[in-house]
Amino acid sequence: MPKQYTPEVKSRAVSYVMDRMDRYKSVYAACAEMAPKLNVGKETLRRWVLQAQVDAGDRTGPSSGELAEIKGDVPRSGGGCLNTVRVSSLIMLQ
């Protein structure tokens, strides 16, 4: 089973890397060097940093909120995709 990290640990690790990114050629290089110091896997740390960059608008991709909605962790308003499918099916039947 994968390790579970608290939001505080995750936030502090991401801040630590982001504050030092200018010293490295890439996110991977930064995370590969800093992960052992933070007692976190380098790929885990890299994914956290990339998601933080997306959330900050520095990188393209789905935000944390959008990912939570996709996973079903956040209730959607208006019925979401199910209503769209039902409407599409009704249109195609006519």
State the residue range of the domain holding 13: 7-93
Q: φ, ψ for residue 24 (rounded to 5)?
A: -125, 155
Q: Is residue 2 situated within a structural domain?
A: no
The yes-or-no verdict on residue 1 having pLDDT over 50 is yes
Question: Who contacts 33 (Cβ-Cβ below 8 Å, separation ≥6)?
Answer: 24
Tally of helices (H runs) and strands (E runs) in the chain: 5, 0
Helices (H), ranges, 21-93: 27-38, 42-56, 64-71, 81-93
> What's the domain count of the chain?
1
pLDDT, residue 71, reads 86
CATH number of the domain to which 80 belongs: 1.10.10.10
Q: Is residue 1 situated within a structural domain?
A: no
Q: What's the pTM? A: 0.72
Q: What is the pLDDT of residues 26-64, one digit of tens each?
A: 999 999 999 999 999 999 999 999 999 999 999 899 888
